Amino acid sequence: MNSRFTSEIYSDWMRSTQEKKYKEIFLDFILTLKGKVDLEKDRILDIGVGKGWFEKKLHERGIDAEVVGLDVERTDMATEGVKFIVGDGDYMPFKSSSFDMVISFDTIHLLKNPGEIERVIKDGGFALISTHCNERNFKERAQRVKSLFDLKELKEGLVGDPNDEMSYVVLFKKGP
Ligand SMILES: C[S@@+](CC[C@H](N)C(=O)[O-])C[C@H]1O[C@@H](n2cnc3c(N)ncnc32)[C@H](O)[C@@H]1O
């Protein structure tokens, strides 16, 4: 089997695993931002965008968002509405305070300089961050993620299935 074929199978598996794990993300987190973030007009950045399962879900829901997707590896991005940029989340090629919302799913453990996330969010903007966990370690993972930021925590929770894949998710706001 050639490596491109193997990596395509892995990417497809990864995307469907993520879609299944995060199926409650809209109800539990995104809809709580109604009236605060306009997904169709505001500037949104997805750090470690991978194959863009989240953006695909936005489009399936008829949300015409234009998301900037940053990743160190170029992926074969099949999702409409993603402006894909190859770059490092630790040193981002964006001006300070240039995004209304930053999202980053299951990537924060790979970043060494999470202060970059705070830098690029506008005052009054939001960050939606998640990290892999399980039933035993979720409290420790939650503490670790929260300790990385000087942002106001609005909401936290777990997504996924304890017998399968799980992630801890936290929504922050920058500023009062
Ligand atoms: C576990 S995957 C998650 C992908 C996607 N967010 C998802 O939910 O399917 C982690 C992603 O982070 C990317 N990544 C790793 N280090 C990075 C860095 N320093 N800056 C930006 N992206 C990074 C990887 O290439 C990979 O696409």
Most informative mutation of 46, 67, 72 for ligand 1 (most atoms within 8 A of CB): 72
Q: What is the pLDDT of residues 94-145, one digit of tens each?
A: 999 999 999 999 999 999 999 999 999 999 999 999 999 999 999 999 999 9
How far apart are the CA of 62 and the centre of ligand 1, in A?
A: 25
Atom 17 of ligand 1, residue of closest alpha carbon: 72
Residue 138 has what pLDDT? 96
Please name the helix (run of DSSP H) or strand (run of DSSP E) that holds residue 79, with its range, or none. none
* CATH architecture entry for 3-173: 3-Layer(aba) Sandwich (3.40)
Quote the longest CA-to-CA distance of the chain: 53
What mean pLDDT value characterizes the chain? Answer: 91
What is the value of pTM for the model shown? 0.94
Counting from 1 in the atom list of ligand 1, the atom nearest the Cα of 73 is 25
Residue in this structure with the two tokens 């199926």, named with its chain if needed: 23
Residues in the chain: 176
How does residue 173 score in pLDDT terms, banded at 50, 70 and 90? very high
Q: Which long-range contacts (CB under 8 A, 24 or more apart) does 59-67 make?
A: 61/26, 63/39, 64/40, 65/39, 65/40
Instruction: For the chain, give every domain's residue range.
Output: 3-173
14 Cβ inside 6 Å of ligand 1: yes
How far apart are the CA of 128 and the centre of ligand 1, in A?
A: 15
Residue 111 has what pLDDT? 98
How does residue 78 score in pLDDT terms, banded at 50, 70 and 90? low
Bridge partners, 102 (sequence order): 45, 127
Q: What is the pLDDT of residues 41-73, one digit of tens each?
A: 999 999 999 988 899 889 888 988 889 999 999
